[in-house]
Amino acid sequence: MKEELFVSGRNIPNIDPFLKIWHWQIPLYLFLGGLAAGILFFAGYFVVRGKEKEMQTAVKWAPLLAPIALVLGLGALFWDLKHKLYFWQLYTTIRLESPMGWGAWTLMIITPLSLIWVASYMKEIFPWWDWKFKLLDKFEAFVIKYRVPLAWVMMIYAIILGVYTGILLSAFNARPLWNTSILGPLFLVSGFSTGLAATIWMSKDAAERKVLSQIDLVFIFVEIFLIIHLFMGFLAGSETSIEAANLFLGGPFTVSFWVFVVLLGLVFPAVLETLEIWGFHVPKWLPAVLILFGGLMFRFIMVEAGQITRYLY
C-alpha cells in the first residue's frame, strides 16, 4: 500500500485538499470572453464577406451583446481578485509570458473596439436617436468609412481572445488537465459556437439562421473531434494526465461532462440544428440555449476539474 499525507501544516482554505482558488468568476469570464469573441468574429466576417445585408443580426444586433459580455467578464475577473485595490498594477507592465496579463490587455483593446463597432450601427439600430454632438457624428462617419478594416482588426482580436480563453488554462502546466495545447483551439471553437448560438437565438430571419446553423454544425463537429483528441492525448500521456482524464472517464465529472457538455451541449443541439436545416420545426431557442449552457458548463467543469488535478500528493 502506498500512503501519502500531510502530517502538519497544510489545511489552507481553497488550497487543501483541493485547489479552489478560482471560483465561478473565472469560468464565467472565460465563457463571456468566448461568447463575445464568437459574436465579434462573425460580425466582422460577414462584413468582410460583404454579407451585411443578409446577416443583419450577426452584424448589427448580436454585437450589442459583446461589450456587455466583455464588461461583465472583466467585472467577474475583477471580482475574483483578492487584492482589488491594486488592480491598476495590471496596466503598469506588459508581460507577454503572462496569460492573465495578455488577457487583460486583449480585453483592454477589444472592448473599445466592440463599442466602436456597436456605435457605428447606432443610427441604424436607433434611427430616431439624435446624437446632438457634431464631433461624434464625424467620428461615426469615419468608422463607417473604415468598417472593413475595422472588421479585420476585430476578427483578429476575436481570434486572439478566443484562443486566449483556452490558453489562460493551458499555460498552467502545473495542472495536468490543462497541460495540453488543444485547449486553445478547443476554447476558440467552443467560444465561436456559443457566439453563433446567441446570434441564432436573436435572429428573426430564417435564411440567416440557416446559414449560421450550417456554420455552427461545422464548429460543433470540430469541437467534438478536439474533445476526442484531448482525451486520447491524455490517455497516451503520463500517469498524472491519465489520472486527469479519469476524472471524466468514470471519475466525479463523468456525468456532468458527458451528459451536460457533450450530449446536451453538443450532440443534441447538432441534431436539432440538422433537423431544422432539413426543414423540421424546432423552436429556435432550444439548440441555442443548449449550446450556451453546454459552453458555460464546459468552462465551469474544466476550471474546477483542472484545479483538482496535480502532480503531487
Partner 1 sequence: MKTRRDFIKISTVGVGAAAISYKALGSKGFGLFESKLEGPVSDEDLTPYPTYCEVCFWKCAAWAYVDKKGRIRKVLGNKNDPHCNGRLCPRGTGGVGMTYDEDRLKTPLIRETRNDGTQYFREASWDEALNKVADKMKEVKEKHGPEAFGLFNHGTPGGQFHHLLRAYGSESNAEPAFANCRGPRMSAYFSTFGAYVGSPESTDIRDTKCLVLIGSHIGENMHNSQVQEMSEAIDNGATIITVDPRFSTAAAHSSFWLPIKPATDIALIMAWIHVLIYEELFDKDFVERYTFGFDQLKEHVKNMTPEWAYGITDIEPEQIRRTAKEMAGAAPAVVIHPGRHLVWYGDDTQRARAMAILSALLGAWGKRGSLYFAEGIKIPEYPQPHYPETKWGWRDWNGDKYPLATMGITTELLKASIPRLNYEHQVKAWLIAGTNLPLAMPDKPLFKEAAAAVEFIAVMDTMPMEVTGYADVVFPEATYLERYDVIRSAANREPNIALRMPAIEPKYDSKPGWWIAKQLGERLGLHDYFNYDDYAEVIDWQLKKLGTSLEEMKKIGVKKFPRKSGPLYMGEGEDFEFNTNTGKIELYSVDFADHGFDPIPKYTKHPEPPANFYRLIYGRAPMHTFSRTINNPNLSDLMSENSVWVNPKVADLWGLKKGQEVWLKNQDGAITTFPVKIRVTERIRWDSVYMVHGFGHANKKLSRAFGRGAADTEMITNVMVDPIMGGTGMRGNFITFLKEDPALNRKEAKA
Partner 2 sequence: MAIDTKKCVGCGDCVVACQTENNVPHGYCRDWIVERVDGTYPSLSLEFRSERCNHCDNSPCVRCCPTGASHIVDGGVVLVTPHKCIGCGACIESCPYDARYPHPEGHVDKCTFCIHRVEKGQNPACVDVCPTNCLHFGDLDDPNSAVSLALKDRKWKVLAPEAGTKPQLYFLT
What is the contact surface with partner 1 in residues (CB under 8 A)? Answer: 1, 3, 7-9, 11, 85
What burial class does residue 216 get, using C-beta atoms within 10 Å of its C-beta: 0-12 exposed, 13-18 middle, 19+ buried?
Answer: buried
Widest pairwise Cα distance in the chain: 78
Residue with cell 495542472: 175
Q: How far apart are alpha carbons 42 and 39 in whole angstroms?
A: 6
Concatenated DSSP letters for 62-74? Answer: GGGHHHHHHHHHH
Q: How far apart are alpha carbons 112 and 121 in whole angstroms?
A: 14
Among 113, 92, 132, 141, smallest CA distance to 43 is for 113
Nearer residue to partner 1 within complex by CB, 8 or 93: 8
Binder among 30, 90, 151, 227 for partner 2 (CB under 8 A): 90
CB of 92 to partner 1, least distance (A): 15
Nearer residue to partner 1 within complex by CB, 8 or 96: 8
| Site for partner 2 contains 81 (CB under 8 A) | yes
| Site for partner 2 contains 242 (CB under 8 A) | no
Question: Under rule CB under 8 A, which residues in 161-180 are in contact with partner 2?
Answer: 171-175
The pair phi, psi for residue 265, each rounded to 5°, is -95, -20
Q: How far apart are alpha carbons 287 and 272 in whole angstroms?
A: 6
| Site for partner 2 contains 236 (CB under 8 A) | no
Q: How far apart are alpha carbons 305 and 161 in whole angstroms?
A: 23
Residue 255 interaction partner, one of partner 1, partner 2, none, beta carbon < 5-8 Å per kind: none
| Site for partner 2 contains 93 (CB under 8 A) | yes
| Site for partner 2 contains 14 (CB under 8 A) | yes
Number of residues in contact with partner 2 under rule CB under 8 A:
52
Stretch that binds partner 2, among 42-50, 82-90, 132-140, 225-233 (CB under 8 A): 82-90
Residues forming contacts to partner 2 in the complex (CB under 8 A) are 1-16, 19, 21-22, 77, 80-87, 89-90, 92-93, 95, 97-102, 104, 171-175, 238, 240, 307, 310-313
